[in-house]
């Protein structure tokens, strides 16, 4: 490679219009995913505000009980299927090709189709608010027999639309998973063996493998549910010989691993960001990589812990209790690796680092309550109470969403080409961290006291903790304002970003900001070391100094 | 500085890798249906609907023989293709398509003579779900084979066609293996 041909030219079309049409560039699709996901995040968040508004006082005085059931069902469904999976697919689209030095995904057109299914099933789900009988009201897990009752007799009903949307989301995610896995396996830069691959790619590979194994089971189960609901079969109807618990097996075989599909890429984000902002190599790189696949293997044999009170055999309870607890081992390996990375590092408390530290704190807390929940007697005691809701939200919002915010602040300059504002970012972090803890911490005492979930009215003895939780929720709602303000204003008129504003190591930081359409094009550099050589001065690729000089010269000229 | 030419990332090797990954996830759907079938059957008090004695196994057995032979003919077709014998490829490929179509015909005849429907309890539901979903795969396989046959007549598509032939053949073997498991579950394991 000669440095004279580097860097490649900037993207030809940089107008806004390319984000609104069918485009096969993974970076455009990535941003399409993320923006669409945040649109649905606002809708899901609005529903959460209604839920916490209802629960701020003991009586059911804000919305009708059936409407309330529909609202919490849709809140969960939208947040999982329309926000968190799409936003992670967006990050995968941005990061995987640029991190491994590929020009695009392995199947660019399939990639675009997978994205465009998201607004379609989003419209189906949001549209279900307007059909007779309103949206699905059986919770985001849609257990039969509640979900197979069709009191109105309409062919198109909220529950039917829910099942169709979930099945479509499965199809979209499987398409995405095939693409991500093929890309990582087949399109790495010369010299990038598996043990020179960034941890984010390892975790994405692990998470997408889980999608491929778990999702078809849910899709199959959902097809059978739709047939029971709409065509009168009896897969889950005891009166026709069916078994409602079978659905729970299908559902949780996917939906428990789904938590790892969400949290594994966030582990990847932590592993990328802690070394950058601590100026130290990632501690225990190989173990962090391998732990991801141990989590995948164990994650596939834990689903019954969601069914301890559903009448499963005692031996199954014991087996799944131990397999669930074992997950703490590879997860602990990762946590210690991050702590080892931060330990005696030169910490820079930028917005992405703050979100990582906050996310790690919340994740450790969620891990502790997770071990409590894995224990059969505790689980049976607190099952269907707010304890579970608190644990779950600590994982998803406290750790995963905070990790996603960290990733957005960290890679925004690379893919948008402009710097986000630190002040607004820090305000966003502060409101999020306080809001999340104020919202989700009180749910634990509420659950231990016995407050059931999925209710719109409750005994006044639960009022104190509920007021705190609602105030936290409103604070979380407010925290989105500085975030949106930051993103929009930085995108429109933020300061221009250099190619490597955080002084990070990784192939993506050897590209101009924003990267050209085919990334490195024909000039993919040869990788000669691991991507975490902070403080060692070890170059990542051949001719690294020449590439960096060329990029800096270009920036100075522009 | 000149713009770098856009790279064609849809490399044939990626296609086959992607297709194999797709088949892995397909097998999980079937595995879900099979395990659901086994769970429902072992737990059910009344498995067969009233008036139904069991499934007749002669027609499906003939169908099984037909499908297994088609796996052989598609292998022969692929071999001809790799040796550059396009005529032989087309002959065995057509034969495979005919066997696939015969399987679908046999399935339709069987469905037509059955005493129970899709909604006849859990037995009817699982029977039609399993055979229907598998039949859909057979039909897809026959369609794909037709597509590849047409492609084999376009000279410049030959390389791409070969790629498609490999994928279609893999798909066909997959459908075949699924049927063998299905046959054992539905027709051999009739008494629990």
The mean pLDDT of A393-405, rounded to a whole number, is: 97
DSSP A195-219: GGS-HHHHHHHHHHHHHHHHHHHHH
The pLDDT, as a whole number, for residue B82 is 85
pLDDT (0 to 100) of residue A6:
60
What is the C-alpha to C-alpha distance for residues A471 and A466, in angstroms, rounded to an integer? 9
Best mutation target among B29, B48, B118 (most A Cβ atoms within 10 Å) is B29
On average, the pLDDT of chain A sits at: 93
- SS3 at position A452: strand
pLDDT band of B1, cuts 50, 70, 90: very low
Let me know: does A501 contact A468? Beta carbons within 8 Å.
Answer: no
pLDDT reading at A268 higher than 60: yes
| Chain A residues within 8 A of B40 when measuring between CB atoms | 235, 241-243, 246
Distance CA A73, CA A506 (A): 41
Q: Do B21 and A181 lie within an 8 Å CB cutoff?
A: yes
The minimum CA-CA distance between B185 and chain A, rounded to whole Å, is 17
How far B121 CA lies from chain A's nearest CA (Å)? 5
DSSP A499: S
For B1, the closest chain A residue by CA position comes to A5
A435-452 confidence digits (pLDDT tens): 999 999 999 999 999 999
- Interface check for B41 against chain A (CB to CB < 8 A): the answer is no
Q: Which residue has the higher pLDDT, B191 or A144?
A: A144
Instruction: Indicate whether B145 pLDDT > 70.
Output: yes
* CB contact at 8 A, B162 and B151: no
Written as six digits, the tokens of A479 are: 């925290």
Q: What is residue B86's predicted lDDT score, i.e. its pLDDT? A: 87
Task: Report the gap between the CA of A177 and the closest CA in chain B (Å).
Answer: 9
Q: Across the interface, do A242 and B29 touch by the CB < 8 Å criterion?
A: no
Q: How many CB atoms are closer than 10 A to CB A76?
A: 18
Residue A310: its pLDDT value, please? 87
On chain A, the residues whose CB falls within 8 A of the CB of B1 are 5, 8-9
Instruction: Give contacts of B167 with chain A, Cβ < 8 Å.
Output: none
Q: How many Cβ pairs within 8 Å bridge chains A and B?
A: 139
pLDDT at residue number B192: 56
Does position A509 have pLDDT exceeding 50, yes or no? yes
Which pLDDT score, from 0 to 100, does residue B158 have? 60
Spatial distance between the Cα atoms of A49 and A78, rounded to a whole number of angstroms? 14
Distance, CA of A196 to CA of A209 (rounded, Å): 20
The answer to whether residue B94 scores a pLDDT higher than 70 is: yes
User: For chain A, how long is the longest CA-to-CA vector?
Assistant: 76
Instruction: Express each pLDDT in B73-91 by its tens digit.
Output: 999 999 998 888 889 999 9
- Provide the pLDDT for residue B7: 42
Using a CB-CB cut-off of 8 Å, the residues of chain B touching A232 are: 119
Q: Residues A181-209: pLDDT tens digits?
A: 999 999 999 999 999 999 999 999 999 99
Q: Are A317 and A383 in contact, with CB atoms under 8 Å apart?
A: no
Residue showing tokens 């224990």: A375
- CB distance from B45 to chain A under 8 Å? yes
User: For residue B168, what are the CA distances in angstroms to A177, B15, B90, B164?
Assistant: 21, 12, 14, 6
Task: Looking at mean pLDDT, say which of A124-128, A157-161, A228-232, A356-360 comes out highest.
Answer: A356-360
Give the nearest chain A residue to B12 (CA atoms). Answer: A106
Judged by CB atoms closer than 8 Å, whether chains meet at A241 and B10 is answered as no
pLDDT for A9: 60
Is residue A556 pLDDT above 60, yes or no? yes
pLDDT digits over A414-426, tens only?
Answer: 999 999 999 999 9
Max CA separation in chain B (angstroms): 80
Burial state string for B63-81 with b = 16 or more CB within 10 A and e = fewer than 16: bbebbeebbebbebbbebb
Which chain A residues touch B31 with a CB distance below 8 Å?
217
Closest C-alpha among A427, A276, A274, A426 to residue A351:
A426
Least confident residue range of B14-28, B111-125, B158-172: B158-172
- Determine whether the interchain pair A521/B129 forms a contact, defined as Cβ–Cβ distance below 8 Å: no
d(CA A193, CA A503): 24
When pLDDT is averaged across residues A11-24 and rounded to a whole number, the result is 78
Reported ipTM: 0.89
The per-residue pLDDT for A152 is 72
Residues shown for chain B? 192
- Where residue A188 falls (left for φ over 0; alpha for ψ -120 to 50; beta otherwise) is beta
Structure tokens at A128: 């279900």
Average pLDDT value for residue range A2-10:
52
DSSP A527: B
Secondary structure letter of residue B47 according to DSSP: -
Is the confidence at residue A512, as pLDDT, over 50? yes
Contacts of B46 (CB under 8 A, 6+ apart): A241, B121
Which chain A residues contact residue B123 at CB under 8 A? 241
Determine, for residues A241 and B47 on separate chains, whether the beta-carbon distance falls below 8 Å: yes
Cβ count within 10 A of residue A438: 18
Q: Do A216 and B28 touch (CB under 8 A)?
A: yes
Q: Supply A167's token pair.
A: 């099945």
All residues of chain B having their beta carbon less than 8 Å from the beta carbon of residue A224 are: 36, 125, 129
Predicted confidence at residue B4, as pLDDT, reads: 35
Instruction: Give B51's contacts (C-beta < 8 A, 6+ positions apart).
Output: B115
Q: In this structure, what token pair is assigned to residue A405?
A: 């915010």
Residues of chain A with C-beta less than 8 angstroms from the C-beta of B21: 177-178, 181-182, 212
Q: How confident is the model at residue A2 (pLDDT cuts 50, 70, 90)?
A: very low
Tokens (6 digits) for B111: 């469905």
User: Nearest residue of B to residue A251 by CA position?
Assistant: B32
B1–A5 C-beta distance less than 8 A: yes
Residues 6+ apart with CB under 8 A from A237: A144, A145, A148, A228, A244, B122
Which of A10, A182, A187 to mutate against chain B (most B CBs within 10 Å)? A182
- Residue of A185 and A154 predicted with greater confidence: A185
Residue of B nearest to A249 (CA): B36
Question: By percentage, how much of chain B surpasses pLDDT 70?
Answer: 89
Q: What is the pTM of this model?
A: 0.94
Per-residue pLDDT band at A133 (split at 50, 70, 90): confident
Q: What share of chain B is helix, strand, coil (3-state, %, to 5)?
A: 80, 0, 20
> Helix A26-55 and helix A85-100: axis angle, to 10°?
150
Quick check: A414 and A515 in contact, CB under 8 A?
Answer: yes
Read off the pLDDT of each residue in A153-168 and give the average, rounded to a whole number.
88
* Chain B residues within an 8 Å CB radius of A26: none
Shortest Cα distance, chain A CAs vs residue B24, angstroms: 8
Dist. CA A376–CA A324, nearest whole Å: 11
Interface test with A, best of B7, B45, B132, B174 (most A CBs within 10 A): B7
pLDDT (average), residues A124-136? 92
Residue percentage of chain B with pLDDT more than 90 = 63
Residues of chain B neighbouring A217 (CB-CB closer than 8 A): 28-29, 31-32
pLDDT above 70 covers a percentage of chain A that reads: 97
pLDDT tens string A73-123: 999 999 999 999 999 999 999 999 999 999 999 999 999 999 999 999 999
- For residue A507, how many other CB atoms are within 10 A of its CB? 24
In this prediction, residue A352 carries a pLDDT of 97
Q: What's the CA gap between A29 and A19, in Å, rounded?
A: 8
Q: How far apart (Å, rounded) are the C-alpha atoms in residues A125 and A160?
A: 10
Residue B14, chain A, CB below 8 Å: the answer is yes
A351 membership: H or E segment, kind and range: helix A351-374
Confidence of residue A1 (pLDDT cuts 50, 70, 90): very low
3-state secondary structure of A476: helix
Confidence class for position B160, pLDDT limits 50, 70, 90: very low
Q: What are φ and ψ of residue A135, in 5° steps?
A: -70, 175
Chain A CB within 8 Å of residue B46 CB: yes
- Cα(B22)–Cα(B33) distance, integer angstroms: 17
Q: How far apart are CA A19 and CA A116, in angstroms?
A: 12
Any CB–CB contact under 8 A between B12 and chain A? Answer: no
Q: Are A388 and A373 a contacting pair, CB within 8 Å?
A: yes
Answer yes or no: do A241 and B121 touch at CB < 8 A: yes
Predicted local confidence at residue A376, as pLDDT = 94
Q: Answer for the pair A42, B37: CB distance below 8 angstroms, yes or no.
A: no
């Amino acid at each position: 490679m000669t440095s004279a041909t580097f860097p490649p030219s900037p993207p030809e079309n940089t107008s806004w219009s390319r984000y609104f049409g069918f485009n096969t560039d993974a970076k455009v699709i990535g941003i399409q995913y993320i923006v669409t996901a945040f649109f649905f995040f606002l809708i899901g968040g609005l529903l959460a505000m209604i839920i916490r508004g209802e629960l701020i006082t003991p009586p059911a005085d804000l919305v009708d009980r059936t409407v309330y059931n529909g609202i919490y069902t849709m809140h969960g469904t939208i947040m999982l299927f329309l926000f968190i999976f799409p936003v992670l697919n967006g990050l995968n689209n941005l990061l995987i090709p640029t991190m491994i030095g590929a020009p695009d995904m392995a199947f660019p057109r399939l990639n675009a189709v997978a994205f465009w299914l998201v607004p379609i099933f989003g419209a189906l789900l949001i549209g279900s608010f307007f059909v007779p009988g309103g949206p699905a009201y059986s919770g985001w897990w849609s257990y039969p027999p509640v979900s197979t009752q069709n009191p109105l007799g309409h062919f198109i009903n909220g529950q039917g639309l829910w099942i169709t949307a979930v099945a479509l989301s499965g199809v979209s995610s499987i398409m995405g998973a095939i693409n991500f896995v093929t890309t990582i396996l087949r399109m790495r830069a010369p010299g990038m063996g598996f043990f020179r691959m960034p941890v984010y790619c390892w975790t994405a590979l692990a998470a997408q493998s889980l999608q491929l194994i778990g999702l078809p089971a849910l899709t199959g189960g959902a097809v059978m549910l739709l047939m029971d609901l709409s065509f009168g079969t009896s897969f889950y109807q005891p009166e026709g010989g069916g078994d409602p618990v079978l659905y729970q097996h299908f559902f949780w075989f996917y939906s428990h691993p789904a938590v790892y599909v969400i949290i594994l890429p966030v582990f990847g984000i932590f592993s990328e960001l802690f070394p950058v902002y601590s100026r130290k190599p990632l501690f225990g790189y190989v173990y962090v990589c391998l732990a991801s696949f141990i989590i995948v293997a164990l994650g596939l044999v834990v689903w019954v812990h969601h069914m301890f009170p559903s009448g499963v055999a005692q031996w199954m309870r014991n087996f799944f209790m131990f397999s669930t607890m074992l997950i703490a081992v590879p997860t602990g390996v990762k946590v210690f690796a991050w702590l080892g990375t931060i330990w005696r590092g030169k910490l820079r408390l930028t917005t992405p680092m703050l979100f990582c530290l906050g996310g790690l704190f919340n994740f450790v807390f969620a891990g502790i309550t997770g071990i409590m929940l894995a224990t059969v007697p505790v689980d049976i005691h607190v099952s269907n109470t707010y304890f579970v809701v608190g644990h779950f939200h600590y994982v998803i919002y406290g750790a995963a969403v905070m990790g996603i915010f960290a990733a957005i602040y960290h890679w925004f300059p690379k893919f948008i080409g402009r710097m986000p504002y630190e002040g607004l970012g820090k305000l966003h972090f502060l409101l999020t961290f306080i809001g999340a803890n104020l919202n989700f911490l009180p749910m634990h005492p509420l659950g231990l006291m016995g407050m059931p979930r999925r209710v719109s009215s409750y005994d006044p003895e639960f009022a104190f903790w509920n007021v705190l939780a609602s105030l936290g929720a409103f604070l979380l709602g407010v925290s989105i304002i500085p975030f949106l303000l930051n993103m929009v204003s930085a995108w429109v008129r933020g300061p221009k970003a250099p190619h490597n504003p955080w002084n990070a190591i990784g192939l993506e930081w050897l590209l101009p900001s924003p990267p050209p359409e085919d990334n490195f094009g024909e000039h993919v550099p040869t990788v000669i070391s691991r991507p975490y050589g902070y403080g060692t001065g070890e170059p990542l690729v051949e001719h690294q100094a020449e590439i960096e000089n060329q990029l800096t010269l270009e920036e100075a000229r522009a | 500085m000149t713009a770098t030419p856009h790279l064609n990332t849809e490399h044939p090797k990626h296609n086959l890798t992607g297709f194999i990954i797709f088949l892995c996830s397909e097998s999980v759907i079937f595995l879900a249906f099979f395990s659901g079938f086994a769970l429902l059957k072992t737990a059910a008090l009344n498995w067969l609907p009233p008036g139904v004695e069991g499934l007749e196994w002669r027609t499906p057995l003939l169908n099984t023989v037909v499908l297994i032979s088609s796996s052989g003919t598609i292998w022969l077709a692929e071999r001809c293709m790799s040796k550059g014998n396009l005529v032989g490829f087309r002959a065995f490929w057509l034969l495979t398509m005919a066997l696939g179509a015969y399987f679908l015909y046999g399935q339709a005849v069987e469905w037509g003579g059955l005493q129970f429907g899709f909604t006849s309890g859990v037995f009817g539901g699982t029977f039609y779900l399993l055979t229907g979903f598998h039949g859909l795969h057979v039909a897809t396989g026959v369609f794909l084979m037709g597509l590849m046959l047409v492609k084999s007549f376009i000279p410049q598509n030959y390389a791409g066609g070969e790629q498609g032939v490999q994928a279609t053949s893999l798909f066909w073997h997959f459908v075949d293996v699924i049927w063998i498991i299905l046959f054992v579950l539905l027709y051999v394991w009739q008494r629990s």
